[in-house]
Amino acid sequence: MKKLENKTVFITGGLSGIGKACALAAAQHGANIAIADRKSGDTDKAMEEIKKENPKAIFIDCDVSVFAQVQAAVEKTVSTFGGLDVALNNAGIGGEPAKVGDMTELQWLNVINVNLNGVFNCMKHELTQMTKQKKGVIVNMASILGRVGFATSAHYVAAKHGVIGLTQTAGLEYAAEGIRVNAICPGFIDTPLLTKAGFISHPEIKQHIVDMHPMKRFGKDSEIANGFIFLACDDSSFMTGTAVEIDGGFLAQ
């Protein structure tokens, strides 16, 4: 059964990894898709894949850390499809590893600007539209690292803790206005982000991360997409202000 038939779904960072898996799943469930991402060599190929599932899909070149670009992206989505039913604030980067005392201001700001300020920028403009409509669903991509620390990733950990705080607070603020706001906390998922971080190519690091998960494996992007569809559709109609862990048991330890 299609769970998002004719709904409009806005997805940041939807050209790759988890965001693309969520876009494909939402398109399979009948949704119109607006992908907001930075244009790259892979843009056309990813958009073709999504359009195969549902031709009603558009790409918007957008850096989520730039307030005005996010505003324009949300407005473009609404003017194209006539509204905004679901937003997935997923765009994110891993950042360069460093201990807090060794971290440069630039390393810190690069991650905070995308992973935390980017989510605020999106929520601000999405909520403006959803308040007008008196309905909508927001899903933020947090992380298990929004719950616990991780050495050499203070920027990422702080940003993801912030995303959970934003989710809880907006969940409270809009609970009585027909707008639900939840987050997903994935464990380590095999995507280009982990490859870029060097977690896949070094066998010892890879095994160490696998061993941190009681299920002894990385998650799949499709397993996060299944959780996204649940939070995006009416199956989760009594859920707001929460962060759902999809992590192979990581946080149960």
User: Does 13 interact with ligand NAD (rule: CB under 6 A)?
Assistant: yes
The Cα 46–Cα 42 span in angstroms is 6
| Residue 236 near residue 182, CB atoms below 8 Å | yes
Is 174 one of the catalytic residues? no
Q: Which is closer to ligand NAD, CB of 19 or CB of 171? A: 19
Q: Is residue 121 at the binding interface for ligand NAD, with CB under 6 A as the rule?
A: no
Subset of residues 37 to 56 that bind ligand NAD, contact rule: CB under 6 A: 37-38
Binding to ligand NAD by residue 57, rule CB under 6 A? no
Number of residues that bind ligand NAD (CB under 6 A): 28
Q: Check binding of 65 to ligand NAD (CB under 6 A).
A: yes
**Closest by CA position to 191, among listed 4, 20, 9:** 20
Nearer to ligand NAD, 24 or 64 (CB): 64
Question: Is residue 76 within the footprint of ligand NAD (CB under 6 A)?
Answer: no
Residue 124 beta carbon to ligand NAD: minimum distance, rounded to whole angstroms: 15
Q: Is 70 in the site for ligand NAD (CB under 6 A)?
A: no
193 binds ligand NAD (CB under 6 A): yes
Counted residue by residue, the chain has a size of: 253
The reply on whether position 143 binds ligand NAD by CB under 6 A is: yes
Residues 153-192 that bind ligand NAD (CB under 6 A): 186, 188-189, 191-192
Q: Which of 108, 156, 188, 228 is catalytic?
A: 156
Is the four-CA dihedral 117, 121, 126, 132 of positive or negative sign? Answer: positive
227 touches ligand NAD by CB under 6 A: no
Residue 159 beta carbon to ligand NAD: minimum distance, rounded to whole angstroms:
8
Is 77 a binder of ligand NAD (CB under 6 A)? no
- The answer to the question of residue 117 lying near ligand NAD (CB under 6 A) is no
Amino acid of residue 64: V
Residues with active-site annotation: 156
Residues that bind ligand NAD (CB under 6 A): 12-13, 15-19, 37-38, 62-65, 90-93, 114, 118, 141, 143, 186, 188-189, 191-194
